[in-house]
Amino acid sequence: MIETPQGPKHVAIIMDGNGRWAQSRGKPRLFGHHAGAKRVKEIVRACPAQGVKYLTIFAFSTENWKRTQTEVAGLMSLFRTYIRGEMRSLKKEGVRVRFIGDRVRLDRKLANLMDDLEAETKDNDVTHLTIALNYGGRDEVARAVKDMARDVAAGTLDAESVDETTLTAYLDTRVLPDPDLVIRTSGEARISNFLLWQSAYAEYEFIDTLWPDFSTDVFADVLSRYGVRDRRFGGVNV
């Protein structure tokens, strides 16, 4: 258990490997996504004991629409089922849920459920769970810049005063601290357009474990390695 001040307060996870996990067992890819959803529940519940206040998970990217219609439809159904099934327990356990990403392309039933879950948990403060759904880092920055441009045109924002703090205030994650640690499962060593702006100084862990096998013990092990890292943020320790 991480109890030192050096532990990460905000952990972001690229949950990769559900499909491969299922296929290795002779099952359809959606079987792996359902197993992955169960793993999310366990990791969320493990956060308080590990000192993790903020958890951000990559559930569906702007690029995932390229998958088969069957898989996309199955994932959307899974998201709706997860929200309906977990709303009561998330509220009871003090988890505040937020969604980031562009909701325009999502079906209205799912978007309404997302709104409901955010509203039901808005007063919680034990764990802040952020779910990136139809999210892409470049898309987020593009939408933020578009909103800034509108405000400049409307005269409510001075273009000469714009700096990185200004842009941060227009991002989906504007009320969240930047992630301290980004974990990617399944052995892939890329960031896949996830939290590009926010992760400028995050530590990264690329691990071979497939997401459905990412147990609370694996989670604790990764967090323990973060605690011994020397984070200088561009400076030099003397």
Strand order in the sheet with 127-135: 95-100, 127-135, 54-61, 10-14, 181-184, 203-206
**Torsion sign, CA atoms 76, 79, 84, 85:** positive
Closest CA to 179 of 46, 95, 45, 55: 55
Q: Is 64 a catalytic residue?
A: yes
Instruction: Give the Cα separation of 8 and 97 in Å (integer).
Output: 19
The active-site residue out of 18, 64, 102, 115 is 64
Q: Which residue has tokens 């096998």?
A: 213
Please name the residues in contact with 18: beta carbons below 8 A apart, sequence gap of 6 or more: 29, 32, 33, 35, 36, 210, 211, 212
**DSSP of 111-134:** HHHHHHHHHHTTT--SEEEEEEEE
- Catalytic site residue 158? no
For the chain, what is the radius of gyration of the CA atoms? 18
> Which of 16, 18, 134, 172 is flagged as catalytic?
16
Phi, psi of 156 (to 5 degrees): -95, -5
78 within 8 A of 103, measured Cβ to Cβ:
no
Give the residue numbers marked as catalytic: 16, 64
